[in-house]
Structure formats: structure tokens, C-alpha cells
Structure 1
Amino acid sequence: MALAARSSSAFALARRLTSPSSSTPRRGRPVAVTRTATRSMGATIPDDPKFTIPDQPARFAQGKADNNSRMLTTDFFDGTLFKNKRVLVTGGNRGVGLALVRELVACGADTIVACRSSNEELDGMKEVQVIVGCDVTDTASIAAMAEQVTNPIDVLINNAGYFYEPVETLETMNFEEELKMLDICAVGPLRVSAALVNAGKVAAPGGKIAMITSQGGSVAWRTVQNPTGNDYGHHMSKSAANMGGVLLAQELASKGMMVQMLHPGFNKTGMTAKYEHIWEVEGAVDPSMGAKRVLHEVSLMTPEHNGLFINCEDGLQIPW
């Protein structure tokens, strides 16, 4: 779940390179723009209308200054688009995952939750199919989950994740935790996607797979959001998840399926509680708003935008 815990002015101080080019905004016809990039540590950060701002506090401040309703409200969300759609959410028993389930139920979606264990709230949602015992690091448990999905789903939201809280430096690296994050956050979504697709449980054509990753997986943004490095496992796992999602998008395109990598934004959950002191300055929102943002992007997913990396806060792209 992703956040920019440490931002800096490195972006403003870096050398700017400007050259004319043509680009295609996320949605709409190609338009001529002036492409500006920031180069630092070998990575080029595009400054382009289709890309969001890398500095999290600056992004939120700009959104407030512009009174950007896409960032500050949920007026854009049309829940009717999910009515009677079959949607499966992994890790739907807490945080953003549980908020997604609540929203889907309110929208009238045929909702399935795949999680390690249920809770009182999920048990009380009689209209939701809850499949427990799902460990995204265990291939057998995921295969068993796929068998319990009776009919093809329209949308798969790979939301299950893991975040090791202590800050990792060279002196404090925890290699076991790094491997755990890679397994859960990068390989886990592939286990789930492969099990469901191979079993014919994702609609083809038209099926959508949302990979909930993180802006923390952007290599280009590390010099802005993590100028001193650190947090190796978190960032490596999210970057690997993005690569897996792109490859999945390419392979499934022939089946008429779509895949996108979605940064859900900074949400006020237990996973981000240690960053409570920067929630307000970085624009953290209640998970209910975060869920609407995610579902909005899922509803907009088309074959033309297959394989993109999208910031759900504003609907713009994030560079790799």
C-alpha cells in the first residue's frame, strides 16, 4: 500500500532537460506537448501532462490549490457500473481491501473475498462469498480457492499485500522479510491470476485484473521520494509486482483481458499507521475514499490502456 513516507526537494534541484515530442494522454487523442524530464541518478522522470507529480506533499498541495475535485472528492465515481458484476478481491478482510468489499456490496456487485481468515464484519455480509484459507504464497491453497469460484468473474482485484514496518538500511536489512514481501506482493498476484485464468474463471474477453501495487515501485521516483535509499524490500517487491503485471497484460491481451497496475493512494489504514504524523500533509484519505478511487480506475480500464501504471489519486500515470 503505498506511500511516500519521506519526500524531498531533490526534484526541484535536479537538472531539467527539455525537448519537443509528441505524447498521448491517458485518454483521448494524441496532442503535441513539450516534454520535460528530470534526470537524476540515471533515471529520467518525465514532466508530462499524463504523469502525476512525484513529490507527494507537492502533489496534494497542488490538488488543493487547483481545487481538483478528482483528488478531493468522490463525485466522479459511478457505482452503478459494478451492479451485477462479479468481482473477486484478495485480502478483503481489512484496510483498503475491506473498504473495496463494502463499496462493491453497496454498488450491487456479486462480490467474492479470498483471504486467509474472515472476521465478524465479513461473516455478516450474507451476500458476499468469503473463501478463507487463501495464502497467496501457497500455490495449493490458491488452486483450491479457484475451484470454489463457480462462474467466471468480471474483475479480479489483487489487493493482498504485506509491508515490513521497520526501516531497512544496510545495517538493519532483514533478508527473510524482503523475500516474504517479494513472495506476497509480486509472486502472489501471479499465483492468483494464473490459477483463475487457467481454470477459466476470468471472463474472456472483457475480464479485468487490477494489480494493487504502489508508487513505491517506481524506479524513476526513488530519488524524489527516497533520496537516502532504505526500505529495500518494500520498493523491490512493488517494482517486481509492476513488472509481473506488465508481462501479464501482454500475455492476456490476446484473450481480450486487461491488466493495470494501480497505486491506491495514501490511505489511513493500520498498515500506514506509523506514518500518521504525515497523513494530513501528504493527503491521506479514509479507505472508503481510496476504495472509490480504485474502483473508478477499474471501471475506466480498456484494451487501449492495457498495462498502464495509474495513480488512483488523480487518474494520471506513474513512470516506471
Structure 2
Amino acid sequence: MTNLGSQANKRALVTGGNRGIGASIARRLAAEGADVAITYRTDPAAAATLVAEIEQEGCYAHAYHSDIGDPAQVRALVEQVAAEFGAIDLLTSNAGVEHYGALTSITPEEFDRVFHVNVAGQLFLTQAAAAVMPPGGRVVLTSSVSARVASYHHALYASSKAAVSALVLSLAPELAELGIGINAIAPGPTNTDMGKQHAHSYTHPALRGVSPDALVASMNAVGRLAEPDEIAAAVAFLLSQDATHLTGTTLDVAGGWN
């Protein structure tokens, strides 16, 4: 079991850490004693509020503006964080973009945007972080239950998340040579602003008169949306010393979604 204080003196980078699941992960790691760097693309006020909250608990925190879909910005981000924090021991790649759209409507520009952020962003972030991460480092990327469960008009997003699961599987032996573990989480529908915004899109249009909560209850063994803290707990486990023999794995955190 992960314990409070178990990440003392560790330095964590959480992308997309100013809201939703990312903010919950940042709070959880700080509660376990880690100093935490978070990134944001929009809403600097929310990022500043979270930094102040973490520092009130006795850990160091800093927020960085970065577009994870831009490899140059990703490299600069990792260099900044490593310089300020001394190194990066824990990396959680949480930033991503959602997409729903029929096959006939998908444009090359949409494809580039989704894959640049969800796939290339996570790949180049891992590449940069691995260069400054000491042995014993842990990486958690973000896939999605959508990579294995069909949702209507969700092909572009789902394929980007399936690519993330393939990344962690294939990078595991290479990073193991450096003493670094890498895994992914695959959340299902979660009680965040983004989750609520897209909840109505999870099923065929014929069912969209049904409330999103009722739809989730019918498709999820637990019968409800996940809470961000529940996703954060799974990430904390994968980043902990309790998970040192786990690598190359994608962990579903979807309440038995089927």
C-alpha cells in the first residue's frame, strides 16, 4: 500500500496538472511528500492556486506554461524543471485532447492535433525526461479505456490512446536498461469538467436522451463515474515502490467498463 510520506524528497512532473485528474495527481504526490512541477496550457490562475495549496502543505511546487503538443516546448519544459528541481524522479503525463467525430468528418488537421498531443507529446516528454531521470525513476502515461472499448464516433481519439499503450509496452525494456519503469493508466468516464462535457457522446445517438449518469451505470460495473482522486490513487501506486516489478503495463481504472 502507498503510504503518506512515501515519496519524500522525490521530484515529480505532472503535465496537465492544473485541473481535473492532473490536479488530483499533483495533490496526491504532494501529500506523499514529493515536490511537484505542474504544467498548464490555459488558466494560469488555477495553476497558481494549486501551487499555493501544495506549498501550504510543506512541499515545493511550481507551474510551467507549456504546450505538450510542441516537441520544442516539451524539451524546454523538462530542462527547466530539471534545473529548478535538481532532477525528475516521477513523471505523470496527463495532458491530452479529446475528439469525437464521424469518419467522414475527420480532417488532417484534427488528426495532427490529436496525435501531436496524445501520442507525440507523451513520446517526446518521455524521451526528454528519461535523459534527466535517475535510476529508480517512474513514468506513467495516460491511455484510455476507449483504446479497447468502442464508442460511437471516437475512432481518432481511441486510436491515439491505443498508441500510448503500445508505447509503454515497447519502451519498457529500453527504459529498464536505465533503471526506469514505465506504465500507463486507462481511465474510463471521470467526474471532471472534460468528462462531463463529453459524457453524452459515449454512446450511440439513439441513446443520448438518457442521462449520462444512467448510461454509465448501465455500462460500468461500479455504476458511476470515477472521481479524480480514484484515478490519482492508481497513478500513485504505479509511481510507488510497491510497483517496481510493474512495467510496460496499461492499468484500467474504469470501474469494470465493458
| Fold match by TM threshold 0.5 | yes
Q: How does 1:197-208 map to 2 (within 5 A)?
A: 197-198=130-131, 201-203=132-134, 205-208=135-138
- Kindly state the Cα deviation for residue 189 of structure 1 after the two structures are TM-superposed: 0.9
Q: 2:70, 2:116 within 8 Å by CA — same for their partners in 1?
A: no
Is the 1:89–1:113 Cα contact (8 Å) retained in structure 2? Answer: yes
Q: Which amino acid aligns with 2:34?
A: A
Structure 1 CA distance, aligned partners of 2:2 and 2:121? Answer: 29
Structure 2 letter corresponding to 1:275: A
Assess if the C-alpha contact under 8 Å between 2:123 and 2:167 holds in 1.
yes
1:190 corresponds to 2:123 = yes
Identify the residue that residue 246 of structure 2 maps to in structure 1: 305
* Counterparts of 1:112 and 1:278, CA distance in 2: 34
Classify 1:312/1:77 alpha carbon distance in 2 versus 1 (closer, same or farther; 3 Å).
Answer: farther
**Hey, what's the Cα distance between the residues in 2 that align with 1:298 and 1:105?**
13
Q: Are 2:50 and 1:122 equivalent residues in the alignment? A: yes
CA distance in 1, matches of 2:226, 2:95: 19
CA distance 1:171–1:143, shift in 2 (3 Å): closer
Who is 1:163 aligned against?
98
Q: Distance in 2 between matches of 1:267 and 1:140?
A: 31
Number of the residue aligned with 2:108: 175
Which secondary structure does the structure 1 equivalent of 2:185 belong to? strand
Letter in 1 for 2:129: L
5+ unaligned residues in a row in structure 2: which ranges? Answer: 201-210
Name the Cα RMSD after superposition: 2.4
Output the amino acid matched with 2:74. Answer: I
SS in 2 for 1:289: helix
Give structure 1 stretches of 5+ with no counterpart: 1-75
Indicate the SS of the match to 2:6.
helix
Q: State the shift of 1:116 in Å.
A: 2.5
**Equivalent residue runs for 1:101-112 within 5 Å:** 101-112=26-37
What amino acid does structure 1 have at the position aligned with 2:249?
L
Structure 1 or 2, whichever has the larger Rg, is 1
TM-score (norm 2): 0.79
> What is the CA–CA distance in structure 2 between the aligned matches of 1:231 and 1:266, rounded to whole Å?
14
Specify the SS of the correspondent of 2:105: coil
- The number of residue pairs the alignment matches comes to 228
Correspondence 1:93 to 2:18: yes
SS at the partner of 1:89?
strand
| Kept after mapping to 2: 8 A contact 1:265/1:290 | no
Give the counterpart letter for 1:156 in structure 2: L
- Give the TM-score, by structure 1 length: 0.64
Instruction: Say whether 1:240 aligns with 2:163.
Output: yes
1:207-246 maps to which residues of 2 (within 5 A)? 207-218=137-148, 222=149, 225-226=150-151, 230-246=153-169
Q: 1:116 to 1:130 in 2, by over 3 A?
A: farther
Task: For 1:134, give the aligned amino acid.
Answer: S
| 1:234 Cα offset (Å) | 0.6
What does residue range 1-320 of structure 1 map to in structure 2 within 5 Å? 78-117=3-42, 118-120=44-46, 121-125=49-53, 126=55, 127-148=59-80, 149-150=82-83, 151-164=86-99, 167-198=100-131, 201-203=132-134, 205-218=135-148, 222=149, 225-226=150-151, 230-273=153-196, 274-275=198-199, 277-279=211-213, 281=217, 282=220, 283-299=224-240, 300-302=242-244, 304-313=245-254
